[in-house]
Structure 1
Amino acid sequence: MKENLLMLLLIVILGSCRQKSSVNTQNQYSDSLNNNIIIGKGLGKRIDSLLQKEIVKGFSGSVFVSIKDSVILQKGYGWADSLKTTLIKPSTKFYLASTTKGITGVLTLIAQQKETLNTTDHLSMFYENCPKEFGNLSIHEMLIHTSGLSSEYETYGAINRKDNVELVYKKPLGTKGEFNYSSAGYWLTGAIIEKLSETTYEEFAHKNLFEIAKMKNTDFWFEANEGDKNLFAQKLKKFPPDDLKPNWGYRASGGITTNILDLKHYFQVLTSHQILNKESLGHLFGPHITLKSGIGVGYGWYTTTTPRGTKEVWSRGGESFGHNSAIRWFVDEGVAILILTSCGEIERNREANRTVSDKIEKLIFTAPKSQSN
């Protein structure tokens, strides 16, 4: 009798599960609970079709697209390994490369909101033996690349913070006030965050950003389990062994690893003022200066005007080993395109995040309004 009752209960439970699954398939999105795949009807399917064709051209990566807070697409494409045995999923991890700089900008402004530092503070306030010519460099100038710091430093062997700072001092400054893209300003800003918070850059990021944004799969290059192709997208070439150790060649300017699910969480909490207040978010995006090209410079973020006359805010990065990423937010139109790739350049000597996101943008904004959902 008990066995019959248990069997009856099991049948009811299974029937209930099937009914719920049937209901889900009627929703706006096709959603695989195992792989976190979302493909919206209409526009989502057309973007998916576009990206399937990009695989043939060598594309491998994860993509997230939303329009006015509605998820249109969330999916992985191509292969995580060169032998093509493991498909990329939304859970697959990639290196953010210089998109990390935008995160360092966020962490700096979090520290400013906590009154730990101010972006107008100068380097001499933090280091007693700071050379005179470096002493008047502000955090703000370092973050917008106008401090005069060089674009090239040999810091990949600098394990501790003191060695990193002293290596930067050894190279003469260029012209202050002129834009010169440099990772060194972000290394120094990361060093300041460490010194004032009395913790590591990584610990500060985890506590003040990753945990709040529920970025459970985001960490740093020296923690990456790259041997697991089910977890991590393969590089096109390997790191030198010493580069895999914690060092200042990657800290604060690059080196963060994540997947598209966490990148989505980061973007959503950032743009909804859950991490930074409205004033701080304005400081993050800028623009603080505008280049001759029309690009506005923020703290690891940039602004441009689209051909449609609307505003785009973006952050992107690329590594020589093929991983590259981008966050593109078309503010006025409520569209976000997030992309992580591992295939390097695939078309016209341009990184995949650029070529593929450009095609997605074109498809979205040329689609008839009646087909946009």
Structure 2
Amino acid sequence: MKERLLIALVIVLLSSCREKPSAHSETRNTDDSYSDRTIVGEGLGKRIDSLLSKETAIGFSGSVVVTVSDSVVLQNGYGWTDSLKKNLIKPSTKFYLASTTKGIAGTVALIAQQKGILKTSDSLSMFDENCPTDFRNISIHDMLIHTSGLSSEYDTYGATNRIDNIRLLYKRPLGPKGEFNYSSAGYWLAASIIESSTGITYEEFTRENLFERAKMESTDFWFEADEDNESLFAQKQKKFPPGNLDPNWGYRASGGVTTNIIDLKQYYQTLKGYEILNKESLGNLFGPHKTLGSGTGIGYGWYTTTTSRGTKEVWSRGGESFGHNSAIRWFVEEDVAILILTSCGVIEGNREANRTVSDKIENLIFMVSQGRR
């Protein structure tokens, strides 16, 4: 069944290529990969574009990339960056990644491991000999898969240096170690370890070893964001309180990265091509290291699930209270990816736009692959 789906999907793609080969085929190393180029391929690309245009009419605003077997069939923006509808969203428009940032932090930790700087099996006591007794055996691995016992409470917003951040984390009692408890605090602590181990800031290490190597030229951290530029940056549904954009540990590693859909595509394709992480490290990034009762496998800021078609999906997503939300969804065996950045928060019920819209794109792609129009 999986083989038939894949063959059918490839036929759809090849058919589109014959109709208009230059309209949607793009490789990673083209000279214009960082231009504001819109790609709407014949066939499947146009069907998805039509779907997203209808979604825009009922409130969707965001940018989307869809790839099939490494060919880009869609790269486009939809809706407006601002409530006054003065500036259209383009592929270059920037958004907050929200918790999709956690997958970046997991990538950075594994880069540090490949460089021999640390091991994800290292315990906190190796980096802070003064940590409380019950914290001593927490490993970086535990932090990244949310089994460290660290609270899900956001206690360190406002801490402007690493030591203050760690001391604030130590004040909250640990929960049961080994149980899954989604926690941004584990990512703040992992970033603290990366920073202390490398001798440079977490941001510097991330930029040098991931953003620059993956050619993510429009990716920044939240305190660098030019949010007032409505032609460049999708506006939030509500403003941060004064001071929240100042550098602090409340957004490090767990959220706060800003990017556009072109750079998000670079990140995904760089990972998939083993250009940053080797095969073993990529397996550690995606996991699963633990599987929940729901069937969701836990990686380092990434998750695995089984689709209704019985195939494997690897994904990372995040959402913010101010409306920005994002997702990377890779259907591994079918070699299809849906990447989405949005600023419209919840639409069509009580689900974030990245979920509702990417589900509709998924349904369209695989209905087309099976011949149902």
Q: Same fold (TM over 0.5)?
A: yes
Superposition TM-score, scaled by structure 2 size: 0.91
Distance 1:113 1:133 in 2: 29
**1:141 corresponds to:** 142
- Give 1:201 shift: 0.8
Partner of 1:106: 107
Matched, 1:343 2:338: no
Give a deviation string over 1:142-196, Cα, whole Å, max 9, x none.
1000111000032111000000000000000001110000001000000000001
Q: 1:347 offset after TM fit, Å?
A: 1.3
Q: Which moved more, 1:33-42 or 1:346-355?
A: 33-42
Write the mapping of 1:1-373 to structure 2, written as runs, cut at 5 A. Answer: 27-29=21-23, 35-368=36-369
* Distance (whole Å) between structure 1 residues aligned to residue 158 and residue 216 of structure 2: 29
Counterpart amino acid of 1:308? R
* 1:56 CA displacement: 1.2
Q: Which residue number in structure 1 is paired with residue 28 of structure 2?
A: none
- 2:166 is paired with a residue whose SS is helix
What is the count of residue pairs matched by the alignment?
A: 348
> Conserved in 2, the CA contact under 8 Å of 1:150 and 1:184?
yes
CA RMSD of aligned residues (A): 1.6
What amino acid is aligned across from residue 158 of structure 2 in structure 1?
Answer: G
Which SS does the other structure have where 1:340 is aligned? strand
For 1:272 and 1:50, locate their aligned partners in 2 and report how far apart those are by CA, in whole Å.
30
Using the TM superposition, give the Cα deviation of residue 30 of structure 1 relative to its aligned residue in structure 2, in angstroms. Answer: 6.0
Letter in 2 for 1:344: G
**3-state SS in 1 of match to 2:323:** coil
Match of 1:4 in 2: none
User: Which whole-Å deviations, capped at 9, do the CAs of 1:47-103 have from their partners, x for residues lacking one?
Assistant: 000000001111000000000011110000001001001000000000000000000
CA–CA distance in 1 between the matches of 2:21 and 2:290?
Answer: 45
Q: CA deviation at 1:27?
A: 3.4
Contact kept, 8 Å, 1:30 with 1:37, in 2: the verdict is no
**Are 1:28 and 1:41, in contact at CA under 8 Å, matched by a contact in 2?**
no
Structure 2 residue runs of 5 or longer lacking an equivalent are 1-18, 26-31
Query: Which residue identity does 1:208 align to in structure 2?
Result: N
Aligned partners of 2:39, 2:274: CA distance in 1, in Å? 25
Structure with the greater alpha carbon radius of gyration? 1
Tell me the secondary structure at the aligned position of residue 243 of structure 1. coil
CA distance in structure 2 between the aligned counterparts of 1:172 and 1:257, rounded to whole angstroms: 32
Correspondence for 1:6: none
Give the counterpart letter for 2:56 in structure 1.
I
**2:162 alignment partner AA:** R
Residue 99 of structure 1 aligns to a residue whose secondary structure is helix
Shift of 1:370: 6.5
Which residue type is aligned with residue 286 of structure 2? F
Shift of 1:369: 5.3
| Partner Cα distance (2:156, 2:88) in 1 | 35
1:367 match: secondary structure = helix
Give yes or no for contact 1:75–1:89 (8 Å, CA) kept in 2.
Answer: yes
User: In structure 1, how many angstroms separate the alpha carbons of the residues matched to 2:37 and 2:242?
Assistant: 34
Tell me which residue corresponds to 1:11.
Answer: none
Quote the Cα distance in structure 2 between the aligned partners of 1:61 and 1:352. 9
Q: CA deviation at 1:284?
A: 0.3
1:299-353 deviation digits (Å, cap 9, x = unpaired): 0000000000000000000000000000000000000000000000011210000
Give how far 1:28 is off.
3.8
TM-score, normalization by structure 1: 0.91
Residue 371 of structure 1, CA deviation: 9.0
**In structure 2, what residue type is equivalent to 1:222?**
F
| CA shift for structure 1 position 229 | 0.7
Counting aligned pairs with the same residue, the percent is: 71
In structure 2, distance between residues paired with 1:199 and 1:116: 12
8 Å Cα contact 1:153-1:168 kept in structure 2: no
Is the Cα–Cα contact under 8 Å of residues 24 and 72 in structure 2 kept in the other structure?
A: no
Structure 1 position 242, deviation (Å): 1.6
For 2:21 and 2:115, how far apart are their aligned partners in 1? 42
- Is this contact kept in 2: 1:310–1:330, CA < 8 A? yes
Q: CA 1:210/1:225 → structure 2, altered by over 3 Å: closer, same or farther?
A: same
**Alignment check: 8 A CA contact 2:98 2:255 kept:** yes
1:129 Cα offset (Å): 1.4
CA contact (8 A) 1:104 1:190 kept: yes
